[in-house]
Structure 1
Amino acid sequence: MSIKVEQALISPRYLAGPGDPAWVTAALHEGAGWSHGHDPLMPRVVLTSPNQKSTLRLEPDLNEPWWHLSHHDGRTGSVWNASFGGGTPVELIAAVTDALTDPDYHARKVADPYQSLRRARWDAAPNGQFSSPDGRVTGERFNFSGSHSWRITATLDEDDPVWHAWFSAGTPPVLVAAFMQALADPEPVRRSHEQTIGFPRRRITLRWQEWPAERVARALPERIEHLAARRLNTPPPTLPTPPPAPRRTR
């Protein structure tokens, strides 16, 4: 007889609590090939992309965002960063890092990052402000010299923020769109007993369900395997066609 464990199915997902950071960090390291520094005296994780252009830093801080994703491309001059508070569900952050590490990332074009919000019947105004149907998530878009930045806040009550997310000017719209799509996804997220202890249960729907322990244990390894396969199946870059060899003359 297989062993079963209980997991909580929580919705809306944006109020489900942070979850397991490995859903992001282990996936980037083992699945997407990001290297990590190791400082046993500091409670932080620093991961760097294979091309050295992107960095993810996870550093618990009571007064600052815990997650920092930054990008700097010296060749193109592209610079942007995103940050997420410690209470941000890892599924939302993973949507951004998964989009960033997608082999087709540079080819994907997004005209409207709010499209998934509108499909989910969120209120999205022309000026860039938006809110969830229950009013627990609000966001706004800022315009700086034609470049947009975004700030998103989730709250339990009017003066009780759960997390903030920020995307700087220059952040590729495909990454913002990935975050918005995960934000509006009606699918509940799973949390273990330990991950629900002490977390406020106001404004959420929580349902316990039994799952085979082996299936629960395989969720993260399967995610890593999927990302690794996606990376390894990337076709090699197209090399420029060499000029024809000069013709020999007599």
Structure 2
Amino acid sequence: MKRTQWQGWGPGEQAQQHYLVEPRALAGDGDVRYVSEFLRASGWRDTSKRGGPLSMESQDRTVRIVYNPYVPPGGWTVNGAAKGHQDEWWAHLGSQTPVEIVAGLTDALTRPRSAHAPNVWAPFQEQRWRTPPNAEHVTAISPDGSAWMQYHQAPGGEAMWWSGANDGQGNGWAAQFTSSTPMHLVQAFSTALASPEPVMRPLGRVPRSARIRTTSVSVLPSQLGAWQQARITAARAAVWSRNSARTGRPHAAARPHFPVDGTRTRR
């Protein structure tokens, strides 16, 4: 296996082996801070109690996010209070839901709603997910069959969004959204779920599955820190931009961050 160093390596740093994993839906949970630090940088309050689960609350206190992997069924719970014409809603995502997919929903909670009408199914159509014509419920299935999204209409009239992934070997997760969940949030989730981009996991955190493909990458701790900081900086810049727009102060655009490419070994 051939390896070369990243450009710009600093003295005293040791490379760490990571893997780019695809499909992302089967990559395993990942680092919770990917979600929580972005929310914190976006102005959300950390309401966690010492020794308890992660708990975050929006600035207007209408949305609460809890991550608790210890109490069954475990995972992420998002509760939205009724506000104006918006009914109360909730979403639950299993503990093995990749944080990059969770962030599709939670990042969207920090941004203004788009003026365009949301379309939950558009991301799946763009990525050529299958939509079985004779399915009992409206369903989209990934090309490899490992992930799905469904609008489930119960006989009694109750409806909900149901999603998840399963490799047939015990690895997987499920997510549910009430029918009252704002559609732009469900679309943000579906966009993250349908994305063909791989996600990164460290050595020892890649699920054992015949259904995933991995690419070995050697990275530095400082490199990983820079990527995380770029995400936090983007969140802070968005908050500052919105505040500047409200107060009428001019502002400069945030400079984009591009990670340095390294050597990848496919397996």
Same fold (TM over 0.5): yes
1:128 aligns with 2:152: no
Counterpart residue identity of residue 28, structure 2? G
Query: How many Å separate the matches in 2 of 1:226 and 1:86?
Result: 26
Q: 2:56 aligns with which of 36, 40, 47?
A: 47
Query: Once structures 1 and 2 are overlaid, which stretch shifts more, 215-224 or 18-27?
Result: 215-224
Q: CA RMSD in A?
A: 2.3
Aligned-pair CA distance for 1:131? 0.8
SS of the residue aligned with 2:18? strand
Query: How many Å separate the matches in 1 of 2:33 and 2:115?
Result: 27
1:84-143: per-residue Cα shift (whole Å, max 9, x none)? 1010000001011111111x22x4433421111011110125642121111111232024
Q: 2:123 aligns with which of 105, 116, 133?
A: 116
Query: How many Å separate the matches in 2 of 1:124 and 1:213?
Result: 42
Q: 1:93 aligns with which of 89, 92, 102?
A: 102
The answer for the alignment partner of 1:245 in structure 2 is: none
The answer for the alignment partner of 1:9 in structure 2 is: 20
Query: How many Å separate the matches in 2 of 1:95 and 1:108?
Result: 18
Query: How many Å separate the matches in 2 of 1:39 and 1:111?
Result: 36
1:219-243: per-residue Cα shift (whole Å, max 9, x none)? 21211110111011112289xxxxx
Q: Tell me: CA distance 1:233–1:132, structure 2 relative to 1, closer, same or farther (3 Å).
A: same
Larger radius of gyration: 1
Q: Tell me: CA distance 1:119–1:146, structure 2 relative to 1, closer, same or farther (3 Å).
A: farther
Are the aligned partners of 1:72 and 1:78 in contact in 2 as well (CA < 8 Å)?
A: yes
Structure 2 residues not aligned, in runs of 5+: 1-8, 249-267
Are the aligned partners of 2:82 and 2:89 in contact in 1 as well (CA < 8 Å)?
A: no
Q: Tell me: CA distance 1:153–1:236, structure 2 relative to 1, closer, same or farther (3 Å).
A: same
Structure 1 residues not aligned, in runs of 5+: 239-250
TM-score (norm 2): 0.79
Query: How many Å separate the matches in 2 of 1:38 and 1:131?
Result: 36
1:45-98: per-residue Cα shift (whole Å, max 9, x none)? 111000000000011136314100110034445211111101000000101111
1:23 aligns with 2:30: no
Are the aligned partners of 2:149 and 2:162 in contact in 1 as well (CA < 8 Å)?
A: yes
**1:34-113 equivalences in 2 (<5 Å):** 34-42=44-52, 44-61=53-70, 63-102=72-111, 104-105=112-113, 107-113=114-120
Query: How many Å separate the matches in 2 of 1:136 and 1:166?
Result: 17
TM-score (norm 1): 0.84
**1:149-188 equivalences in 2 (<5 Å):** 149-157=160-168, 160=170, 162-188=172-198
Q: Tell me: CA distance 1:41–1:65, structure 2 relative to 1, closer, same or farther (3 Å).
A: closer
Aligned length: 231
Query: How many Å separate the matches in 2 of 1:221 and 1:24?
Result: 13
SS of the residue aligned with 1:160? coil
